[in-house]
Structure 1
Amino acid sequence: MSNTKNTPDSQGSQQTQESQETNNSHDSQEPHKDSDRHTADEHRPSPMEVLRQARAQLTELTGLAPEQVSSFEQTEDGWSLEVEVLELARVPDTMSLMASYQVELDAEGQLTGYRRVRRYERGRADARGR
Structure 2
Amino acid sequence: MTRRSPADCTAARRAARSAVGHVADMTGRDAEGVVGVQRREDGGWSVTVEVVEIHRIPDSADILAAYQADLDADGQLVAFHRTRRYTRGHVDRP
* Shorter-chain TM band: 0.7 to 0.9
Q: Which runs of 4+ in 1 moved over 6 A?
A: none
Q: Which residue of 2 aligns with 1:68?
A: 33
> Could you tell me the TM-score, scaled by structure 1's length?
0.61
Q: Which residue of 2 aligns with 1:101?
A: 67
Cα distance in 1, alignment partners of residues 41 and 29 from structure 2: 28
For the 8 Å contact 2:37–2:46, the answer to whether it is kept is yes
Q: Is 1:88 the counterpart of 2:57 in the alignment?
A: no
Q: Which residue of 1 aligns with 2:83?
A: 117
> Using CA pairs below 8 Å that are at least 6 residues apart, which structure has the higher relative contact order?
2
| Equivalent residues, number | 84
Cα distance in 2, alignment partners of residues 83 and 116 from structure 1: 9
Give the AA of the match of 1:59. A
Q: Which residue of 2 aligns with 1:56?
A: 21
> Which structure: greater helix fraction?
1
> Could you tell me the TM-score, scaled by structure 2's length?
0.82
Q: Deviations over 1:66-120 (max 9, x none)?
A: 1111110111221001111100000000000000111100011111111111110
Percent of aligned pairs sharing the same letter: 42
Q: Which runs of 5+ in 2 are unaligned?
A: 1-9
> Which structure: greater strand fraction?
2
Cα distance in 2, alignment partners of residues 59 and 120 from structure 1: 18
Cα distance in 1, alignment partners of residues 68 and 14 from structure 2: 18
Cα distance in 2, alignment partners of residues 84 and 123 from structure 1: 14
